[in-house]
Structure 1
Amino acid sequence: MGVHNGRWRVAPYGRRAVLVDLDGQEDVLGLHGALDHEPPEGVVELVPAARTLLVRFDPERTSHERLADDLLRHSTVDVSARAGREVVIEVRYDGEDLAEVAECTGLSVAEVVTRHEQGGYVAAFCGFAPGFAYLTGLDPALHVPRRATPRTRVPAGAVAIAGEYTAVYPNSSPGGWRLLGHTGHPVWDVERARPNLLTPGTRVRFTRARR
């Protein structure tokens, strides 16, 4: 069940939402950016993921059918060209997995740090834990798999990579990502008016902490 336009497919997802299936992360970010800038009538929340976008709506203001039609007529935006909010995060590159990542990639430890620091990142979606943002833009040379055995505890502020993503652990938790370093910059704080620092679409730049 659902409708499509050759680019993406829209299907009902419960009484108050539709799920949009797209080709990939760039399309998700592009559609999310377009809808965030100019939402169709009745839209109350956008929840991006790796290849889907959940669109929640008020059933008193629109319907599955009307919203699907609105979405299929929408265009995406070039996220890279948007002057969105940028967050700069200082990192101490002292992670437990630095040497292992260097060995896996054939790079030196210094090269791993430089390539990670020079990346231009965008928060694509959040998952796993509140405030855990999956950041796209990681240098392909640093695409390494998760650890075979996850750690039972990764400290809050750990800066890590896995697959095509990099992330900052918002709180202490189990985790299998490769640790490159840590930051004291809180990416999740319930005391802030906006607890999640790295909301989808936020641009992120890592910089080496001054010693």
Structure 2
Amino acid sequence: MTATLSQPRLLPSGDGAVTVEFSRTIDDAANRRVLALDRTLAREPIPGVTETVPTYRSLLVHYDPTQIDFDALGGKLGELAQQPVPPTEETRRWRIPVVYGGEHGIDLEDVAKTLGTTPDEIVARHIAGDYRVAMIGFTPGWSYLSGLQDSLQMPRRQNPRLLTPAGTISIGGVQTGVQCLAGPSGWHLLGRTAVRTYQLHRDPIFLLEPGDRVTFSVVDAKTFLEQDRAAEGGEIVAELIAA
């Protein structure tokens, strides 16, 4: 007997979008429902829907109100959201190389002190994780990963930095992330990767997609520089383990 799924909230977002909200907190089960609905809409498009934007806990659905109204669209989305989420997903697995600590991960030692351990142990815990891309957002290619083990979870910085380097690998709250472009951040910087999760003139432009799995591996500073030069030329220096 199939369990009844909770009905998501349907929230108007202006006059041309609706938010399908599955949870009010970061939740892997809710995120799987978000991505399942997003894929269903890609396979079975609703006339009038122009774009979908998945997040951790909701799906933003843009639509043309001259083709379909809010009530009609909401009814269809509610029905589709009740479809069972596939128990297993065909997913890609990536291994992303990271140089940890020093100038590349300026918060590594402070994180270790705060958590009562050593920098080497923080790195060991971080590369032991099996992460899942929950959403892409904030800036192009910024990949939010769920699956951070409890022993690495800590509040974000009280004073966010106005600028952090491109390629930063960081942790914040219950998440870890891959920051593609230089920008502000309140997360704790553990290291950097040469991998470009977003590169405008490369095919594909976006490397990671919601639902992909990610693990990290350690490289030294020399290897990072070599990979960075290769990535600048358009090479994908992440390793695709499974597709």
On whether the aligned pair clears a TM of 0.5, the verdict is yes
How many residues matched? 206
Aligned twin of 1:20:
20
Query: Matches of residues 119-198 of structure 1 in structure 2 within 5 Å?
Result: 119-198=129-208
Compute the displacement of 1:197 (Å). Answer: 1.9
- Match for 1:109: what amino acid? P
The structure with the greater share of residues assigned to helix is 2
Residue 112 (str. 1) matches residue 117 (str. 2): no
Aligned twin of 2:100:
93
Check 1:155–1:37 CA distance in 2 against 1; reply closer, same or farther (3 A cut): same
Deviations 1:4-49 (A, max 9, x none): x853211222232111122243244222322233215133322123
Decide whether the 8 Å contact of 2:145 with 2:175 is kept in 1.
yes
Residue 69 (str. 1) matches residue 75 (str. 2): yes
Aligned twin of 1:7:
7
Give the match's secondary structure for 1:92.
strand
Query: Percent of aligned pairs with the same residue?
Result: 37
Compute the displacement of 1:61 (Å). Answer: 4.7
- Match for 2:176: what amino acid? T
Aligned twin of 1:54:
60
State how far apart, in whole Å, the 2-side matches of 1:44 and 1:107 are.
Answer: 49
Decide whether the 8 Å contact of 2:38 with 2:59 is kept in 1.
no
State how far apart, in whole Å, the 1-side matches of 2:66 and 2:121 are.
Answer: 55
Structure 1 unaligned blocks of 5 or more:
none
State how far apart, in whole Å, the 2-side matches of 1:138 and 1:127 are.
Answer: 18
State how far apart, in whole Å, the 1-side matches of 2:159 and 2:85 are.
Answer: 39
State how far apart, in whole Å, the 2-side matches of 1:157 and 1:183 are.
Answer: 5
Structure 2 unaligned blocks of 5 or more:
224-243
TM value normalised by structure 2: 0.76
Aligned twin of 1:41:
46
Aligned twin of 1:201:
211
Check 1:53–1:70 CA distance in 2 against 1; reply closer, same or farther (3 A cut): same
Decide whether the 8 Å contact of 1:22 with 1:28 is kept in 2.
yes
CA RMSD of superposed structures (Å): 2.2
Deviating above 6 A after TM superposition, structure 1's stretches of 4 or more consecutive aligned residues are: none
- Match for 1:37: what amino acid? R
Give the match's secondary structure for 2:140.
coil
TM value normalised by structure 1: 0.86
